[in-house]
Amino acid sequence: MSQDSQNSNELVGGCACGHVRYRLETAPIVVHGCHCRYCQRMTGSAFAVNAMIEADRLTLIGDGEPQGVQTPSAFPAGQIIYRCPRCFVALWSNHSLLGEAVPIVCVGTLDDASQLPPDVHCFTATKHAWIALPDGIPAYEGDYDSELVWRPEARTRLETALRGGS
- pLDDT given at position 8: 55
How many other CB atoms sit within 10 Å of the CB of residue 130?
A: 6
- Strands 79-83 and 90-95 turn out to be antiparallel
Q: For the chain (length 166 residues), average pLDDT per consecutive 10?
A: 50 97 97 92 92 96 94 79 96 90 96 96 96 95 91 92 82
pLDDT of residue 1: 34
Q: What whole-number distance in Å separates Cα of residue 62 and Cα of residue 142?
A: 37
The whole-number pLDDT of residue 62 equals 85
Alpha helices in 33-76 (DSSP H): 37-43
82 contact partners, CB below 8 Å, separation of at least 6: 66, 67, 68, 69, 90, 91, 92, 93, 94, 103
C-alpha span between 48 and 45 (Å, rounded): 7
Separation of alpha carbons 72 and 81, rounded Å: 10
State residue 75's pLDDT score. 72
Nearest to 4 by CA among 67, 59, 54: 59
**Which superfamily does 11-162 belong to?**
glutathione-dependent formaldehyde- activating enzyme (gfa) (3.90.1590.10)
How many Å apart are CA 33 and CA 28, to the nearest integer? Answer: 14
State residue 166's pLDDT score: 59
Is 85 buried (19+), middle (13-18) or exposed (0-12) by CB count in 10 A?
Answer: middle
State the pLDDT at residue 113.
Answer: 96
Q: Sketch the domain layout of the chain as residue ranges.
A: 11-162
The C-alpha atoms of residue 106 and residue 115 are separated, in whole angstroms, by 13
CB 91 within 8 A of CB 109: yes
**CA nearest neighbour of 161 among 101, 121, 81:** 101
